[in-house]
Structure 1
Amino acid sequence: MVVALLLLLLGAAIVLPLLDVLMGAVVVDHRPTLENLTAVFARPLFVRALANTLLSGVLVVGLGSLIAVPLAWLTARYEFPGRRVLTTLGLLPLVVPPFVGAIAFQQILGREGMVNLFLLQRFGLSFPFMEGLRGVVLVQTLLYFPVIMVATAAALSGIDRALEEAAQMLGASGLRLHRRILLPLARRGYAAGALLTFIRVVDDLGTPLMLDYPTLLAPQAYVRVTTIGLADGEASVICAVLIALSLVALWLFTRALGRKELTSLGQSGKRSGVSLGAGGTAGAWALAALLLAPALLPQVGVLLLSVSREWGPTIFPSAYTADHYREVLWRTPHYLWNTLRYAVLAACVDMVLGTVIAWLLLRGRTRGAGSLHALAIVPLAVPGVVLALGYLRMFHGWSLPGLGASLTSTWLVLVVVYAVGRLPYTVRGSYAALQALPPAFEEAAQGLGASRARAFGRVTVPLVTRGLLVGGLLAFVSAASDLSSTLLLVSRPELGTLSYGAFVSMNEAGGRGPGAALGVLVIAIVAAGTGVAARLALRGAATTRS
């Protein structure tokens, strides 16, 4: 019964909006037709946008791997002073929302940015770092590579050291050991990170919009919806293509995660990483500095911009001020409070649903579990602009009882879409926590007379709280930094979030300072939430090992 209700709920929240978008692509005047499909694929602009989207995804994964794999190799296989600091530095780009990173990189590497001004003054040279697709790929590479790094490092850390020792006994060592043994064993973890990165690139709307490069699929869908309207069939076709690309990547992602390999076969073969001497430590840090230096630029750029009173054609601001923060905190405080309210509510909804779904998948032994898992994981592959368009088409004009207004004209639609899009985070977090919890605890409670529901609420939930909170915090920080769906769903400025305010401010005359200040607030919220989630995850791992 519970599974059926959840299938009905998720079907209404996920499947129906997506079906409405797909119907908009192939139905015109209540009759099926391929007119929109043929019209879109005949447009050179769409063909370029599709080619650019695929190219950017491949380039970001390839270039990001050049940074991520060496860093994962260093942090997972070696022990040296400052290794944890290096790991933290490698994760820092994840706390920078893509659109904020685009603002910062434009300020530092743009045509009149800090680097080009320095090069022009000293050498009479300048480079078009941020022009066109090149700029989009640069920003996405330097912000998304940690996804590949984390997945690869986890896979390398999970390899049974007995396999490495066996290879060494057979004569493999040095680069040959890593190339022939370790990296092939970690390929599925790497593939999972690469595919998740590709999905993020396809979904990214903020970066190309901030860099004024709309020749990608997500910006094309957004531009058509905002200029032509919700009924535009060609926008639905573009969204259908986005869904197809993301679902294929998600399918490959689940296969990469779902298949077992020769890793973590037993704890007996585990040992600590190879300790590096002074020379090795210096080499490791030199390599890390070379790889990480460009990726740490956004934090510097957006912070300087947020406190600059005047920043003309000079390398650094000529005057500093805190007025931008006073403006956003006193004149437009609703951006901050709306962000916290929407994200907290969405995370709470996700924690409840994620815990129940994860328990049913692991302990329920009921029919329909496969369908429930598929529905719970699908939002990971649905671009925000597609989900937002689906809700606008599906629920436009649908009035909420007691409010006298349609769902899409209130802030509740933002909470619902945020919750739907972040459900996979809490499902995976709760699922991992439940896997580490022996069923004997619940069985003992049931043996003492508790029903399954009571045992779940009084025994299981308190024991998996840490994993549940990790998933909830990840859902919170993702919702707090969302821009793709927010731009379409905010019906009035007073309902806007920090991301919305930063985007609007950056496109207004004299709004770069306040926009950067709003961006810094987003970074602070994401960094705080991610930091707490990481601490909880590490404590949970330590508790499990003990």
Structure 2
Amino acid sequence: MKNERSRINIWTSSSFIIFITYLLFLVYPIVTILGQALFVNGKISFGNFTTFFSRSYYFETLFNSFKVSIAATLFALIIGTTLAYLFSMYQFKGKKLLQILIIIASMSAPFVGAYSWILLLGRNGVITKFLMNVLHFPQIEIYGFSGIVLVFSLQLFPLVFLYANGAFKNIDNSVLEAAESMGSRGINRFFKVILPLLTPTLLAAALLVFMRAFSDFGTPMLIGEGYRTFPVLIYTEFISEVGGNAAFASALAIIAITIALTIFIIQKYVANKHSFTMNSLHPVEEKKLGPIKRLFVYIFVYGTVFLAVLPQIYLTYTSFLKTSGMVFVPGYSLDSYRNAFNRMGSAIFNTIRIPLIALAIVIVFAVFISYLAVKKRNFFTSIIDSLSMIPYIVPGTVMGIAFITSFNTGIGGTGFLAITGTAFIMIVSLSVRRLPYTIRSCVASLQQIPSSIEEAASSLGSSRLNTFVKITIPMMMSGIISGAILSWVTMISELSTSILLYTVNTRTMTVAIYTEVIRGNYGIAAALSTILTLITVISLLLFMKVSKSDNMTL
């Protein structure tokens, strides 16, 4: 009886603590900006929303975001699915190295890629100068719509590749052999057999890519020039409204949340309609390539991966160049690194310190939430599981505005729990935003653990808590590690929320890189970007070492 009461108290209290935490740091901020958008002088008013929909300037900005996000999603799907198909169906050299490079390309901050492409293809870019001066090409226009789509496509196709590559492992080779025996080969087999089998996975990948592109702030801010997107509009309107009317910025944030939620619901409906289970008893057999096909595969695969990692390669190179003001000059030097450590040492330290604390919180919450969602499923835990997915779809800029509005004593703030400007709000924002990644990974691991194992432990006298700590958690460890690494890498590359919440004492490397690019200190920005990439690579290599895996799938 005592053990039963203890069991109830442990899981009930953990559910209650998690629920209160979500109410305080997720529901309350969103409700606060909703109230600020709707209530003017204590009365309900839709004036802020009317302003948005009545002015073409604002509506065109939203339309721009949709155009960019849809175009980037289509290109990412085409490139990522094609790569996954070639990796799974054919034999060629260098797969392990290429997979590592693809993962590295996917984990860097998008705006860093935008900055690098400006150095390469901007008006004074090294490739632009070569094409114009040597080959007499016309001026290349990297800015605006084309530049944003280029950066997003090369940055986000690895996510599609990781999803599709994992799905290919679940396709049974007998299905492909049966299709071939019925005369379906090559392109015809891909579109009629393979693509339908990949549809649920590609829908999930498409949602992730679309939401990443739709909510990204740094890339369009740097390379968009006059091409304004919705996150940039929200940011600029909020900054200009501080001290005045913050209600319009909150209305924009609510519109962004509504759009994201609608897209998420549509995706879930379509995915559920086409969902099915695949079990691979006989994995797809890789075929040898003929001379012509081999040439095509090597050009496409190596060329695509090279373009994806080119920004990191070139930034690393420029970080060792001498600088004179805003210009790189002939010769090599470590001055950029010295200046980076001297001026931005605290930012480098914060990039390790703040995400590490947030990661510890994420792991603890993810383990409990995933267990409650899978093993203790009821109406209350279902609400907790649903709340945990909200940050997955809400743009970072919106979450930043919600936190400032809710936890700020200044003008436009509510005065409740004044933590704006502290490291604590940075930790909370990172934890809330990146928690879904680890939760989904933990849930996937838990679903593979038979309930009979816990029942056997219980029959041998082990309490539920003891079983959870000593048996269940160790069996979940691969999922915990995978989710934790993904959360960690996305934390250290976070910009959208941090750009609104940081202070001089809590500035991170992504914020420092962004501000240094804006100021024209390209050498320091390149050095910081290289350090950030190095931390990312070390994190991924550590994951592969601990998980004893040479690849990562989603």
- Normalised by the length of structure 2, the TM-score is 0.90
Q: What is the Cα deviation at residue 263 of structure 1?
A: 5.0
C-alpha separation in 2, matches of 1:34 and 1:313: 47
> 1:21·1:240 contact (CA, 8 Å) conserved in 2?
yes
Task: Name the structure 2 match of 1:523.
Answer: 533
Cα deviation, 1:420-478, whole Å, max 9, x if unaligned, reads 00010110121122122222332222122222122111221122223212211211111
Give the deviation of 1:390 after TM superposition: 0.6
Deviation at 1:90, TM superposition (A): 3.0
Kept after mapping to 2: 8 A contact 1:246/1:381: yes
C-alpha displacement at 1:537, in angstroms?
A: 4.9
* Aligned mate of 2:146, from 134, 137, 156: 134
Q: For residue 245 of structure 1, report the CA deviation from its aligned partner.
A: 2.2
Q: Structure 2 CA distance, aligned partners of 1:161 and 1:263?
A: 15
Q: Are 1:356 and 2:398 counterparts?
A: no
Partner of 2:54: 42
Match of 2:8 in 1: none
Output the amino acid matched with 1:100: V
1:106 is displaced (CA, Å) by 0.3
* Residue 515 of structure 2 is aligned to residue 504 of structure 1: yes
Residues 290 and 338 from structure 1, CA distance in 2 versus in 1: closer, same or farther, beyond 3 angstroms?
Answer: closer
Q: 1:262, CA displacement in angstroms?
A: 5.1
| Amino acid aligned to 1:494 | N
Structure 2 counterpart of 1:526, one-letter code: T
Report the CA distance between 1:145 and its aligned residue.
1.2
Is 1:65–1:145's contact at 8 Å kept on the other side of the alignment? yes
Q: Which moved more, 1:496-505 or 1:255-264?
A: 255-264
1:244 to 248, 258, 276: 258
Percent identity of paired positions between Structure 1 and Structure 2:
25
The CA distance in 2 between the partners of 1:227 and 1:426, in whole Å, is 36
* CA distance, structure 2, for counterparts of residue 202 and residue 171 of structure 1: 42
Q: Indicate the residue corresponding to 2:104 in structure 1.
A: 92
Counterpart of 2:289 (choices 268, 276, 281) is: 276
Name the structure 2 match of 1:401: none
Contact 1:108 1:297 in 2 (8 A): no
Quick one: distance in 2 between partners of 1:505 and 1:70? 37
Contact preservation (8 Å) 2:426, 2:501: yes
Rate the CA distance shift 1:493–1:213 in 2: closer, same or farther, 3 A. Answer: farther
- Aligned: 1:233 with 2:243: no
What's 1:200 paired with? 212
Q: Deviations along 1:102-153, whole A, 9 cap, x unmatched?
A: 1100000101101110012113334333222221121111111111222222
| 1:132-531 matches, cutoff 5 A | 132-211=144-223, 212-213=225-226, 215-229=228-242, 231-255=245-269, 258=272, 261=275, 264-265=278-279, 267-277=280-290, 279-310=292-323, 318-397=330-409, 406-490=418-502, 492-509=503-520, 511-531=521-541
Taking a change above 3 Å as real, the CA distance of residues 288 and 101 of structure 1, as seen in their structure-2 partners, is same
Report the residue type matching 1:532 in the other structure.
Answer: L
Question: By how many angstroms is 1:536 displaced?
Answer: 4.5
Range that drifts further, 137-146 or 364-373: 364-373
8 A contact 1:117–1:126 mirrored in 2: no
SS at match of 1:319: strand
Q: Could you tell me the TM-score, scaled by structure 1's length?
A: 0.91
CA distance in 1, matches of 2:285, 2:319: 43
Which residue number in structure 1 is paired with residue 93 of structure 2?
81
Q: Is the 8 A contact 2:322 2:332 kept in 1?
A: yes
8 Å contact 1:75–1:86 — kept in the other structure? no
C-alpha displacement at 1:502, in angstroms?
1.0
Q: 1:288, 1:257 → 2: CA distance?
A: 29
Of 277-286 and 171-180, more deviation after overlay is shown by 277-286
**CA distance in 2 between partners of 1:484 and 1:15 (Å):** 19
Alpha-carbon distance in 2 for matches of 1:239, 1:214? 20
SS of the residue corresponding to residue 536 of structure 2 reads: helix
Q: Specify whether residues 157 and 135 from structure 1 end up closer, same or farther in structure 2 by C-alpha distance, changes over 3 A only.
A: same
Equivalent residue of 2:134, what SS? helix
**Cα distance in 2 between the residues matched to 1:393 and 1:9:** 18
Task: Give the CA deviation at 1:369.
Answer: 2.8
Q: Runs of at least 4 residues of structure 1 off by over 6 A?
A: 311-314
Q: How many residues align?
A: 533
In the alignment, is the contact (CA less than 8 A) between 1:343 and 1:480 conserved in 2?
Answer: yes
User: How far does residue 289 in structure 1 lie from its aligned partner after superposition?
Assistant: 3.0
Q: Indicate the SS of the match to 1:274.
A: coil
AA partner of residue 518 (structure 1): L
CA contact (8 A) 2:253 2:398 kept: yes
Residue 47 and residue 153 in structure 1: after superposition, are their counterparts in 2 closer, same or farther (change >3 A)? Answer: same
CA deviation string 1:147-182 (max 9, x = no partner): 122222222332222222222222212221112111
Give the Cα separation in 1 of the matches to 2:97 and 2:518.
36
1:521: how far off? 1.5
Q: Secondary structure at the residue paired with 2:322?
A: strand
Give the match for residue 5 of structure 2. Answer: none
Give the AA of the match of 2:531. L
Separation in 2 of the partners of 1:435 and 1:286?
Answer: 40
Alignment match, 1:20: 32
Tell me the residue number matched to 1:533.
543
Question: For residues 462 and 268 of structure 1, do their structure 2 counterparts lie closer, same or farther at Cα, with a shift above 3 Å needed?
Answer: closer
Once residues 117 and 548 of structure 2 are traced to their aligned partners in structure 1, the CA distance between those partners, rounded to angstroms, is 32
Tell me, yes or no, if the aligned pair for 1:205 and 1:218 is still in contact at 8 Å: yes
Go from structure 1 to structure 2 and tell me whether the alpha carbon gap of 1:203 and 1:467 turns closer, same or farther (over 3 Å shift).
same
d(CA) in 2 for partners of 1:142 and 1:473?
A: 22
**Unaligned stretches of 5+ residues in structure 2:** 1-11, 411-415
Q: Which amino acid aligns with 1:498?
A: M
CA distance in 2, matches of 1:497, 1:213: 27
Q: Distance in 2 between matches of 1:271 and 1:181?
A: 13
Q: How many Å apart are 1:406 and its aligned residue? A: 2.8
Alignment RMSD: 2.5
1:295 aligned counterpart, secondary structure? helix
Q: Is the 8 A contact 1:74 1:284 kept in 2?
A: yes
- Give me the whole-angstrom Cα distance separating, in 2, the residues matched to 1:171 and 1:120: 50
SS at match of 1:127: coil
User: How far 1:208 sits from its partner (Å)?
Assistant: 1.4
Distance 1:190 1:158, change over 3 A: same
In 1, Cα distance between the equivalents of 2:247 and 2:373?
38
Equivalent residue letter for 1:361: A
Q: What amino acid is the match of 1:507?
A: I
Secondary structure, aligned partner of 1:336: helix
Q: Distance between the aligned counterparts of 1:330 and 1:121, measured in 2?
A: 38
- Bigger drift between 80-89 and 203-212 goes to 80-89
Paired residue secondary structure (2:505): helix
CA distance in 1, matches of 2:210, 2:466: 42
1:365–1:235: structure 2 CA closer, same or farther, 3 Å change rule? closer
Conservation of the 8 A alpha-carbon contact between 2:75 and 2:153:
yes
